[in-house]
A and B are shown apart, each in its own frame.
Chain A
């Protein structure tokens, strides 16, 4: 690929990054940061390719260390993001449950919100 082609990919990805994020709800900022953090764990792909194409001991050692760190970033990042979002999932079920057991508490909290 020519340098211009790389630059094109880069510039388009910048705009895409801004565009995709600009509509994110503010309460999801923390999961978003964590999710973006997990996405750059994809450096693991680079670490694997770089490590798998070397014969030198020093490079191999550095490469394997990079794989460990990148895996921690990727796997840990997605796992912690999922855990965070799992907690958001609960209160959406809760109002549903309240409707069954009686909606008195639900409606008065909403009044307070107005």
Chain B
């Protein structure tokens, strides 16, 4: 396909992407939206493959087959709990691909000298820099979420100056590429951008990682737009810009849900490390009240209103089905049951909704933050399953804690609080939770699924 036909097909693909994002705005149309988006992408790839005078078609096909063989099984088999890091990984390779495309265009004989468009070189520099940051940064977010490395903020000695220095070097090399395009400078820029990506994400605390993924997603979108400009391809510009804009907005929404300014999140490690470390020491010595599954069953059986607060621990233990069974049994006995869903429960906004949907929990019993808090104030029992940071009253302190200012579910307002936890280990943000030591809190240690199964059995025996 050539000329006007190809451009028209690209336009259709672009419209498909817009409709895809639009479709994702409502549960009813979301799946159709994805299908429309995928169709648009397929159309665009077919058009690209039929570009006149395209060389190495066999090799290109081979590379696509390899990509599909890697991407499709991974996406199909990944556990839903591990999905955020998979999205991070997919985003990272996208950023890497954009940077590589820019490198190919830069190395093309004649681009640098005869073509000599300043804007082209600037766009290439931008793509290499931002694409590199997106790639290495995403790999670090992956490592953090997969717990291949510590989820706490990592602050290198003189990290602030190192980060600022690397960022400045990146911008400088990128700017120098315009008047003096050379391969050596390009390689240097690539290395600096990769290093900066690592330095940029290392100091981000575990709980803030989703915000960074979203931001890097927007970055990748912009690099795709810049590559599109270099290649003179409107589809890439439209699609990339769409993702860049929507990703930026989504990042802001997520930061708002966590109640923190974006800059504070991204560079918070410089100030917040002390708060993160405090909780480590004395905590274990304080007395806690443990309880047995039977105790919990009695507590639940005599309650009028129970609010479940599911967290990532529930997802890891795959306890969502068991919890739903407990909830169903309580409901059948006339207990009012609801689920309080924190906006960032799990590891991403909406992640918990996906997981509970998987367990057939009725849509309407999932309460968002404000609704859940008004229920919690009159609840007899709040059962916190594998959640910690999102119910940590430390967030109410205006400063001093890495999670300061994050809106939380006020489980401490409930008459009794049951924490179902594996251990006294702090949550993902690494902050000690005072609520665990409160007098109306009881702790049910163990795997969330096993514990809930025992509670279920005890309830049935009542």
Interface residues of A (CB under 8 A from B): 1, 3, 6, 9-10, 13-18, 20-56, 58-60, 62-92, 94-95, 98, 104-106, 108-113
Contacts and interface: CB of A to CB of B under 8 A. Distances in A.
Contact of A18 (B51, B108, B246): B246
A48 B45 contact: yes
Given A51-B104, A90-B357, A33 B34 contact: no
Contacts of B457: none
A86 B66 contact: no
Contacts of B31: 82, 85-86, 88-89
Interface of B: 10, 13, 17-18, 20-22, 24-27, 30-31, 33-35, 37-38, 41, 44-45, 47-49, 51, 53-57, 59-60, 62-64, 66-68, 70-72, 74-76, 78, 80, 83-84, 86-87, 90-91, 93-94, 96-98, 100-101, 103-105, 107-109, 119, 213-214, 217, 220-221, 223-225, 227-229, 231-247, 249-250, 253-254, 257, 305, 328, 331-332, 334, 336-338, 343, 348-351, 353-355, 357-358, 360-368, 371, 375
Contacts of B245: 13-18, 21
B214 to A, nearest CB: 6
Nearest to B221: A40
Given A50-B231, A91-B363, A113-B371, 13 more contacts: A9-B234, A13-B242, A25-B26, A25-B27, A26-B257, A28-B30, A40-B91, A43-B98, A45-B44, A46-B224, A87-B354, A88-B27, A88-B31
Nearest to B106: A59
A53 B55 contact: yes
A11 to B, nearest CB: 9
Contacts, number: 406
A11 B81 CA distance: 37
Contacts of B100: 47, 62-63, 65-66, 69
A87 B229 CA distance: 38
Given A34-B87, A37-B217, A69-B93, A113 B71 contact: no
B48 A75 contact: no
B26 A43 contact: no
A29 B254 contact: yes
A41 B351 contact: no
Given A23-B25, A25-B26, A40-B220, A75 B68 contact: yes
B136 to A, nearest CB: 13
Given A79-B76, A91-B363, A69 B21 contact: no
A22 B119 CA distance: 31
Contacts of A47: 97, 100-101
B350 A70 contact: no
A112 B305 contact: yes
A31 B96 CA distance: 22
A88 B30 CA distance: 9
Given A72-B71, A95-B362, A42 B241 contact: no
A73 to B, nearest CB: 4
A33 B60 contact: no
Contacts of B41: 38-39, 41-42, 44, 74, 78
Given A32-B24, A59-B107, A111-B336, A105 B86 contact: no
